[in-house]
Amino acid sequence: MTPALELQNLCFRYPDGTEALCGVSFAIGEGECVGLIGPNGAGKSTLMLHLNGILPERLNGAPSVFVSGRPLTTENLAAVRRDVGMLFQEPDDQLFCPTVFEDVAFGPQQFGLGGDALAARVSDALARAGIRGYEKRQPHHLSHGQKRRVCLAGVLACEPRVLVLDEPTSDLDPRGKRELKAVLRQIPATQLIATHDLELVVELCPRVIVMDEGRVVADGPTVTLLSDEALMLAHGLEKPHSLQHQHPHGSRHT
């Protein structure tokens, strides 16, 4: 089956010369929920910004990002953006309208939804994100956690096939984290979740990809990799409490 998302030797260097991605390759199947972990500066956010073309590849060669088999090229950009929903690390980078309604409605409006159907889509997305009835609120007056939920509602309202989430639980209180996990668990879309919250990975993601210094250093079953104390320590991570009694067997290091 064609993977929902595939990277083939993705490389990226920032204009200042920082080599952020050095030949990243992996494929994620339809409906998979995969964690993306690694220390600060590993390249997780840079990778995610490539998945709907926010950061263009600086290579002249063959395309390296494929969504449902479709290469991410200039001609395919609009279609790929329709398929891939992206939750940014920083909510303030995502919110730009005077009301929550307008912000959440923005995406579906681009796809031609209007009137009652649009209002219903927005109210449903807000409910799923745990902020039912917030339509008239002003995003810049909300708390950080509430802003994050507005962003999530905006992404859900577009009904993406692939959901890409960058540090979705950072700055959320414990209840907020629990509620977000419940929301994500119910979403049938393919998901790639970059996070330092390893308990979230254990709970939601059967598979995890470990990155360090712009490279994939391990890719495999979450329980196996996160139980591997040596692997975790080597890449600035630690074995989560929930796996303290697990011992790794047969993990694949690359």
Q: Which residues bind ligand ADP (CB under 6 A)?
A: 14, 16, 18, 20, 38, 40-46
Contacted by 53, from Mg ion, ligand ADP, none: CB < 5 to 8 Å by type? none
Contacted by 18, from ligand ADP, Mg ion, none: CB < 5 to 8 Å by type? ligand ADP
User: By C-beta, is 118 or 208 nearer to Mg ion?
Assistant: 208
Mapped onto helix, strand or coil, the DSSP state of residue 106 is helix
- Min CB(53)–Mg ion separation in Å: 18
Name which of residues 165 to 194 contact Mg ion (CB under 5 A): none
- Min CB(168)–ligand ADP separation in Å: 13
**How many residues sit close enough to Mg ion to count as binding (CB under 5 A)?**
2
User: By C-beta, is 51 or 126 nearer to Mg ion?
Assistant: 51
Q: How far apart are CA 97 and CA 75, in angstroms?
A: 28
Tokens coding 119: 């209002």
Give the contact letters, 44-83, x = binds to Mg ion (CB under 5 A), - = no.
Answer: xx--------------------------------------
Mapped onto helix, strand or coil, the DSSP state of residue 132 is coil
- Min CB(83)–ligand ADP separation in Å: 22
What end-to-end distance do the CA atoms of the chain give, in Å?
Answer: 25
Reported as type and span, the H/E element at residue 84 is strand 84-87
Distances 245 to 198, 226, 228, 248, 249 between C-alpha atoms, Å: 15, 11, 11, 10, 13
Which range touches Mg ion (CB under 5 A), out of 39-47, 58-66, 185-193, 214-222?
A: 39-47
Q: How far apart are CA 8 and CA 137, in angstroms?
A: 42
Q: How far apart are CA 187 and CA 205, in angstroms?
A: 13
- Min CB(177)–Mg ion separation in Å: 18
- Min CB(99)–ligand ADP separation in Å: 30
222 binds Mg ion (CB under 5 A): no
Q: How far apart are CA 1 and CA 116, in angstroms?
A: 37
Contacted by 50, from ligand ADP, Mg ion, none: CB < 5 to 8 Å by type? none
207-212: strand order across its sheet: 84-87, 162-166, 190-194, 33-37, 207-212, 215-221
- Min CB(45)–ligand ADP separation in Å: 3
Interface residues toward Mg ion, by CB under 5 A: 44-45
